[in-house]
Structure 1
Amino acid sequence: MMKLLVTWLGGIVVLLTAVSVQANPIQEPLKSHPGCPDLVVQSINTPGWDIATSRSVIKAEIKNIGIGEAEKTLARLMDPYTSQHIGVPHTDVAETPALLPGASATVVFHLPYWPYDPTADFTVTADYKNTLKECKEKNNVKLYNPLN
């Protein structure tokens, strides 16, 4: 603290006190779970056909964009416009290995038919069972649509 004595015109003496302030950087609020992983579907490749097994092959890249390690989880591909004989959409599930921050892995899905045409739509969901506590839980789904 520093004191200053200032004489004002007319003989009035005013005592001013100057305070030096040290700035502290503003800290960002802590995430609800520090060191959290965050899985996203980075990309979905155009389907291919496996002649030997007579099924389609769809590959997707799952990436951990969080700051913590992600344990192994399950990813799901869903074709919402086709249904199986039991009336639910065709799906396939593939394991995503544990991923360090910034790492990615390619997961491979299979469908028993050819799903691709210019208007094909399907989704891939990382951590579809929501077993991993992530920084963001609402960024796990990616839509594949070759026209968009």
Structure 2
Amino acid sequence: MAGVCGCCGALRPRYKRLVDNIFPEDPEDGLVKANMEKLTFYALSAPEKLDRIGAYLSERLSRDVARHRYGYVCIAMEALDQLLMACHCQSINLFVESFLKMVRKLLESDKPSLQILGTNSFVKFANIEEDTPSYHRSYDFFVSRFSEMCHSSYEDPDIRTK
């Protein structure tokens, strides 16, 4: 919880504290697994908070992309993927708008590694079978972006084919 004074941290909403706790001091350490389990349990126990959790993760991811803190971006997407897999049966519609917003942000990036991260997350999302699919979501951006990526002109063939 860097940037929050000790006396005010307890006043923050619980979902924000849980989300903040999944991020380690050093992004090289990766996702804090014990805290991710707590966040997942909280999301499953209080599915009405899933939209707020998604919005807050989206806010953090946007900030980290803007500040070029790509280690934290990877951690945020890993957390989103885990939440998506754990909570997809219960209340995916509450969460999916924030999730797709974050995937879009990654696909709009100039960095191929972020585009690949966004693509992999979208593939995981696309493989989830919904009981009642929502067709109101607009996938036009994703179709056009993935088409552009197919015709990529990156010099490095490894990046171009990922």
Q: Structure 2 length normalisation: TM-score?
A: 0.23
Query: Which structure features the higher share of helix residues?
Result: 2
Bigger-Rg structure (1/2)? 1
| Higher RCO (CA 8 Å, separation ≥ 6 residues) | 1
